[in-house]
Amino acid sequence: MKISILLLAVLICCSARNAAAQQTAQPTPSTSPNANAGPETRSTQQASGSCSTKTELRPGFLIVGTVFNEHSLSFPGTTVRIRCAEEQKYRWEAVTNSRGEFAVRVPAGHSYEVMVRAKNYQEQNVEVRTDRGDIQQRLSIRLLPTKSQKEGPAQ
């Protein structure tokens, strides 16, 4: 009985500390005119600017897709890389799961290039635009082999 009362007192004390810590963690006002702007304002400003400003990149758009091989079977283990259309360097990378699926969350308001690569298959590039008001885009990508398949022994 005494142990349960002691545990209850400890829990009350810890919850009071957490509540006090959350109240003191209020953001301080800034002199910047956009400091108190909501996410809508930030995403509008981000859409007009370059994708290279790392401080404003906030994931809000989901690129989902499935990769298939030349026989229309799911293709696990393919590499999916994503970059802003105006940049040279790829920022996001994923590998397809056992069902050939991938999902990557990127900041909205930009154009992206999705590149899918697998050994012995042609590289596929797909453009994705995130400035149309949607929250996700589903891709279906079919990879073709780089060399023609051998059809049997030569005679």
Yes or no: say if 28 and 36 are a contact pair by the CB < 8 Å rule. no
**Could you tell me if residue 8 is inside a domain?**
no
In tens digits, what is the pLDDT along the chain, a chain of 155 residues? 555 565 555 556 555 554 444 444 444 444 444 444 333 333 333 444 466 555 455 668 999 999 999 999 999 999 999 999 999 999 999 999 999 999 999 999 899 999 999 999 999 999 999 988 889 999 999 999 997 655 555 55
**Could you tell me if residue 80 is inside a domain?**
yes
**Could you tell me if residue 150 is inside a domain?**
no
Q: What is the CATH number of the domain that holds 58?
A: 2.60.40.10
CA distances from 43 to 38, 46, 57 (A): 9, 5, 9
Distance (Å, rounded) from C-alpha 115 to C-alpha 112? 10
**Could you tell me if residue 109 is inside a domain?**
yes
Yes or no: say if 64 and 137 are a contact pair by the CB < 8 Å rule. yes
Q: Show the DSSP H helices in the chain as ranges.
A: 2-24, 39-48
pLDDT of residue 1: 57
**Could you tell me if residue 82 is inside a domain?**
yes
DSSP 86-100: T-SS--EEEE--TTS
- CA dihedral sign of residues 9, 12, 18, 23: negative
Rounded to two decimals, the pTM is 0.60
Write out pLDDT tens, residues 8-45.
555 565 555 544 444 444 444 444 444 443 333 333 33
What is the tally of structural domains in the chain? Answer: 1
**Could you tell me if residue 129 is inside a domain?**
yes
**Could you tell me if residue 45 is inside a domain?**
no
Domain that holds residue 84: 54-142
**Could you tell me if residue 18 is inside a domain?**
no
